[in-house]
Amino acid sequence: MVDADYAKYKDPKESFDSRIDDLIDRMTLEEKIGQMVQIERSVASADVINKYFIGSVLSGGGSVPKKQASAEDWVDMVNDFQRGALSTRLGIPMIYGIDAVHGHNTVYNATIFPHNIGLGATRDPRLMKKIGEATALEVRATGIQYAFSPCIAVCRDPRWGRCYESYSEDHKVVQAMTEIISGLQGDIPANSPKDVPFVAGKTKVAACAKHFVGDGGTTKGINENNTVIDRHGLLSIHIPAYYDSISKGVATIMVSYSSWNGEKMHANHDLLTGFLKNTLRFRGFVISDWEGIDRITSPSHSNYTYSIEAGITAGIDMVMIPHNYTEFIDGLTLLVKNNVIPISRIDDAVERILRVKFVMGLFESPLADYSLVNEIGSQEHRELAKEAVRKSLVLLKNGKDSDQPLLPLPKKAKKILVAGSHADNLGYQCGGWTIEWQGLSGNNITSGTTILSAIKNSVDKDTEIVYKENPDLDYVKSNDFSYAIVVVGEKPYAETNGDSLNLTISDPGPSTISNVCGGVKCVVVLISGRPVVIQPYLDKIEGLVAAWLPGTEGQGVADVLFGDYGFSGKLPRTWFKSVDQLPMNVGDLHYDPLFPFGFGLTTKPH
Please list the active-site residues.
289, 495
Adjacent-strand bridge partners of 40: 58
- Burial 97-114, CB ≥16 within 10 A → b, else e: bbbbbbbbbbbbbbbbbb
Question: How far is the C-alpha of 501 from the C-alpha of 193, rounded, in Å?
Answer: 46
AA letter at 460: D
In sequence order, the 6+-apart residues with CB closer than 8 A to the CB of 380 are 134
Q: Between the CA atoms of 334, 339, 340 and 342, what dihedral angle is there, to the nearest 10 degrees? A: 110
Q: Are strands 263-264 and 208-212 parallel, antiparallel or unpaired?
A: unpaired
Closest by CA to 107, choosing from 434, 325, 334, 331, is: 434
Angle of CA points 595, 599, 506, to nearest 5°? 50
- By the 10 Å C-beta count (0-12 exposed, 13-18 middle, 19+ buried), 460 is classed as exposed
3-state SS class at 466: strand
Cβ contacts of residue 69 below 8 Å, gap of 6+?
107, 108
d(CA 258, CA 278): 22
Give the HSE-up count for residue 448: Cα atoms under 13 Å, Cβ half-sphere: 37
* CA terminus-to-terminus distance, the chain: 77
Task: Name beta bridge partners: 476.
Answer: none
193 CB-contact burial (10 Å; exposed 0-12 / middle 13-18 / buried 19+): exposed
Q: Which residues are 545's β-sheet partners?
A: 395, 525
What's the residue count for the chain?
606
- CA 316: distance to chain centroid? 21
Q: H or E element: which one contains 135?
A: helix 125-141
